[in-house]
Structure 1
Amino acid sequence: EDEDPEKSSLRGSVKDSSVSAKFSDGASSLTKASGSTKVSGHADLVQSGKSSVYRASAGSDVSDDSTCSSICSSASKPHKSNDSRWEAIQVIRTKEGSLGLSHFRLLKRLGCGDIGSVYLSELSGTKCYFAMKIMDKASLAGRKKLLRAQTEREILQCLDHPFLPTLYTHFETDKFSCLVMEFCPGGDLHTLRQKQPGKYFPEQAAKFYVAEVLLALEYLHMLGIIYRDLKPENVLVREDGHIMLSDFDLSLRCDVSPTLLKSSNPGVDPNQKGNQAYCVQPVCIEPACIQPACREKKEKKAKADMATQVRPLPELVAEPTDARSMSFVGTHEYLAPEIIKGEGHGSAVDWWTFGIFLYELLFGKTPFKGSGNRATLFNVVGQPLRFPESPVVGFAARDLIRGLLIKEPQHRLAYKRGATEIKQHPFFEGVNWALIRCATPPDIPKPVEIPRPGASTSQKATPSAEKGPDNYLEFDFF
């Protein structure tokens, strides 16, 4: 594909600028529209100004095509093992051998993205509802995006986490590739933020959402998956108010080696032998015979034992720090400086986007947004981080954002230790990470009205009006 003049001019201008922001040469920039059409609390279409971009590198970006050793297919998900939707699918699969498009009733189009459209669907004969992503294989092949669709499917197959999507099944037809996932009736955080007073979240609500997103990113990094497209539009709200990260077609798969790091306690001398804390004189064996010198040694031993008991537990570090990609990928307002400069990037880009994400939830806008995409990129690379005077946000939150939005990735918070380091920041004081699924969400979505069979489809437009980005084929029946 030929690069359009606007993007070609953008690339040349950034490359020649004083901040030395340069794009690596390669395939043309492609616009991903998944951020531009999202689901509201009632599954209506909501517009957002942010869209993702992707341009694969023609250079040494081997990680994009590498096979992650952690990626695997699973027939069931332990944390969803008692889900009635699993049981309904298994009943049909056992009875008929396989599932196909004919087993589902498409109720409503929820949104469309760069590689497909998502529909609210019902498994026929049940009251089990799903979000079905339908991709036109011919269109993907023509635009050289089959690999991205395959990447998303392989990632979804291996996920088993409360804040990540469950892939119930996937199947192929002659024309379409279909992913059947769980449906989130609460819409996305972009839509929910727009409904807040002042269009920003209170600090406690923001802490809840970013804490759950942090755990999702930690899990992905543990699998060797760098997400690369975090933004409120891609964070969906489940029916219970907890979140679910979505859209993985821009993710990078790589190798990772989880490691347990033992933390030494400075209060205990590691070279001290255990028997040096005990009195070994025969006269001191009985309590009545304890001498002052031995009593002092016993007191020292008790303090040493207490210090040992409060010694920090080993830390699990599962950060794919060696991953490197040269692709230009992400959302303009969320792009990390190293991506814009074309210097190659790794897992630290997720922590940059995490800082932008927290900033947007707290202040209702992103910190480096300019008058256009070009200005935004210049601001990301060359403009210092600033906080608005209003709303008032606590010091801990601002300090966390400062640490995450350091422009040099090697100095950025979590660069080496990943989520483990962020969890220990004072902003998350009081968060019970082990029981976060039991915490009360800031907002519980209202029940979604499911279209009834034979209901009016007056909102349905003609196929030409229903065209999505890049002239996607849209179903004109429900």
Structure 2
Amino acid sequence: MANWPKLSSPHPAIELSDLTAASVLGRGGNGIVFFVRHLSSGRTLALKCISKPSRDGDYRRIWFERDVLLALQHPLLPSLRGIVSTDKLVGFAMDYCPGGDLNTVRRCQAEKMFSQEMIRFYAVEMVIAVEHLHTLGIIYRDLKPENILIQENGHIMLLDFDLSTKLPTSPSSPKSHFTRSKTLLSKTKPNNLLPLFRCFSCHHAGVSPDLAAGENLLPSPKKSKSFVGTEEYVAPEIIIGKGHDFAVDWWGLGVVLYEMLYGRTPFRGQNRKETFRRILTKPPELVGKQTALMDLIGKMLVNDPSKRITCDEIKRHEFFRGVDWDLVVDIARPPYIPMGKKWEEVSEGLDVEKIVEEVSGGKARAATRNAGSVVRNSANEDFAVF
């Protein structure tokens, strides 16, 4: 087994014995997420645990995810609260999001569908989160409803960087929208703030500064040729395999918006081969009265990445007319405020190491196989869940 390097991060180590796990929030081939309580502080957290691998390549992926989490300081992205390391696993402790994911929000709606205003709100926050990652040089590469969680305050949190990678950014790259909003808001009087959306109210709040990309992030070429993503959301240039860049995330957002509008993804086939064929050859079916949202989705789901709509063009699109991008993170009443999951007091708690060991051994893979296939960095197209 490869040597497990010592942690160099400023974030405190957390002993597994100082955590009690009440339930499993999600699981898959590469990790499992627990709902835990930190006994010393009484704080509830989400703990993502990964079995310590035997291959150096797998170590590098774990360290990459750690370094991404260390580089993030943004209200729509996770913060690393601590790291757990035992002989059998490594775990990342992050804030717990009680609202579930976007699929959970959809099921809570009266007609099991999103309204145009809800789609607009979540689309704005997804654009801001992805834009911030891109300014750090990070391509997310796995945008889908399951990875878009709802925080206690109703704002989203984009989670899970298993499939992310880093490309170099130029010195002339634009600053994160989050950074720009910090300066603007600090000079704006609360009573002069205009509503971001007619149905939501805003409040003035300070925003902490963002953090530059961590020096430990793995260097990458100008384009990545990794074959990664989730089957129904993967961009055509990833399937072709000649190289891809940040544009894949705007394709992924187009698929998510389509699913929010129609309740299904646009290219799903009877099998993986048919799904990929549709992605490469079939335009999305945008049925019904044409709207600004449909136009936006159509411009995101353009096969040629050089002709696909860009971030700046997205923000200027008709669908977002009237949106003040500098006030989004300060909306006091998002469209959905979760009730929150109460702590489940378990007398002995879950055996975290045992469950992680079972997952890494493949015993839990069958239970999650129907949740969607994930394309991994693999020459033999190893599709695995999570």
Q: Where on the TM-score scale, by shorter chain, does this alignment land: which range?
A: 0.7 to 0.9
Contact 1:189 1:236 in 2 (8 A): yes
1:448 aligns with 2:363: no
Give TM-score, length-normalised by structure 1. 0.60
Counterpart in the other structure of 1:259: 172
Does the 8 Å CA contact 2:31/2:360 hold for their aligned counterparts? no
Among residues 315, 332, 343, which one is paired with 2:231 in the alignment?
332
Tell me how far apart the structure 1 counterparts of residues 363 and 329 of structure 2 sit (CA, whole Å).
38
Is 1:115 aligned to residue 30 of structure 2?
Answer: yes
Percent of aligned pairs with the same amino acid: 41
Mapped to 2, the partners of 1:221 and 1:472 lie a distance apart of: 36
1:432 equivalent in structure 2: 324
**8 Å contact 2:77–2:157 — kept in the other structure?**
yes
- Distance apart, 1:248 and its partner CA: 0.3
- Deviation of 1:199 after TM superposition, in Å, equals 3.3
Match of 2:15 in 1: 100
Q: Does the C-alpha gap of structure 1 residues 241 and 223 become closer, same or farther in structure 2, counting only changes over 3 Å?
A: same
Is the 8 Å Cα contact of residues 46 and 93 (structure 2) preserved in structure 1? yes
Correspondence for 2:153: 240
For residue 403 of structure 1, what is the aligned residue in structure 2? Answer: 299
CA contact (8 A) 1:224 1:256 kept: yes
Q: CA deviation at 1:146?
A: 2.3
TM-score, length basis structure 2: 0.74
Residues 348 and 434 of structure 1, relative CA distance in 2, 3 Å threshold = same
2:87 equivalent among 146, 165, 174? 174
CA 1:154 to 1:339, structure 2 compared with 1: closer, same or farther past 3 Å? same
1:379 aligns to 2:272 (yes or no): no
In 2: Cα distance, 1:216 partner to 1:466 partner = 33
What is residue 126 of structure 2 aligned with on the other side? 213
467 and 195 in structure 1: CA distance in 2 versus 1, 3 angstrom threshold: farther
**SS of the residue 1:121 aligns to:** strand
* Corresponding residue for residue 370 of structure 1: 269
Matches within 5 A, 1:251-330: 251-259=164-172, 323-330=222-229
Question: In the alignment, which residue of structure 2 is the partner of 1:272?
Answer: none
**1:343, distance to aligned residue in structure 2 (A):** 1.9
What is the distance in 2 between the residues matched to 1:218 and 1:101?
35
Cα distance between partner residues in 2 of 1:193 and 1:111: 18
Q: Indicate the structure (1 or 2) with the bigger Cα radius of gyration.
A: 1
Question: Structure 1 residue 134 and structure 2 residue 33: aligned?
Answer: no
Which residue matches 2:109? 196
State the shift of 1:149 in Å.
1.5
Amino acid at match of 2:309: L
8 Å contact from structure 2 (residues 28, 364) kept in 1: no
Measure the CA separation in 2 of the matches of 1:210 and 1:421. Answer: 14
Compute the displacement of 1:465 (Å): 12
List per-residue Cα deviations over 1:221-255 (Å, max 9, x = no partner). Answer: 00000000000000000111110001101001121
> Shift in Å at residue 336 of structure 1?
0.9
- Per the TM alignment, residue 344 of structure 1 is displaced from its structure 2 partner at its CA by 1.2
Pair 1:465–1:224, CA change in 2 (3 A): closer
Residues 222, 258 of structure 1: 8 Å contact kept: no
Does 1:346 pair with 2:245?
A: yes
Aligned mates of 2:241, 2:82 — CA distance in 1: 37
Deviations 1:423-467 (A, max 9, x none): 11111112121111222211111121211252898xx9xx79994
Which amino acid in structure 1 is aligned with residue 330 of structure 2? C
Partner of 2:259: 360
- Mapped contact 2:20–2:349 kept (Cα < 8 A): no
What is aligned with 1:70?
Answer: none
- How far the C-alpha of 1:472 sits from its partner, in A, is 6.2
CA distance in structure 2 between the partners assigned to 1:398 and 1:374 by the alignment: 26
> 2-side partners of 1:203 and 1:167: how far apart?
33
Q: Distance in 2 between matches of 1:466 and 1:175?
A: 8
Shift of 1:145: 2.4
Kept after mapping to 1: 8 A contact 2:20/2:38: yes
Q: Residue 359 and residue 333 in structure 1: after superposition, are their counterparts in 2 closer, same or farther (change >3 A)?
A: same
Distance change in 2, residues 1:465/1:351 (3 Å)? closer
For residue 181 of structure 1, give the secondary structure of its aligned residue in structure 2: strand
Q: Deviation per CA, 1:387-430, whole angstroms, max 9, x where unpaired?
A: 133xx5x621111111111111111111xxxx222111111112
Gaps of 5+ in 2: 1-7, 175-211, 213-220, 366-386
Letter in 1 for 2:134: H
Alignment-derived partner of residue 148 in structure 1: 61
Aligned-pair CA distance for 1:471: 2.1
Tell me: CA distance 1:188–1:466, structure 2 relative to 1, closer, same or farther (3 Å).
farther
Residue identity matched to 1:430: G
Cα deviation digits, residues 92-149 of structure 1 (max 9, x gap): x6xxxx5311221222121113321111111114331110111110xx3259522222
- Structure 1: distance between partners of 2:328 and 2:243: 35
**Cα 1:469/1:381, change in 2 over 3 Å:** farther
1:349 Cα deviation (Å)?
Answer: 0.6
Residue of structure 1 equivalent to 2:78: 165
RMSD: 2.9
1:386, CA displacement in angstroms? 1.4
Q: For residues 348 and 260 of structure 1, do their structure 2 counterparts lie closer, same or farther at Cα, with a shift above 3 Å needed? A: closer
CA distance in 2, matches of 1:465, 1:425: 45
Is there any run of 5+ residues in structure 1 with no aligned partner, and where?
1-72, 77-92, 262-317
Aligned residues: 312
The offset of 1:178, in angstroms, is 1.3
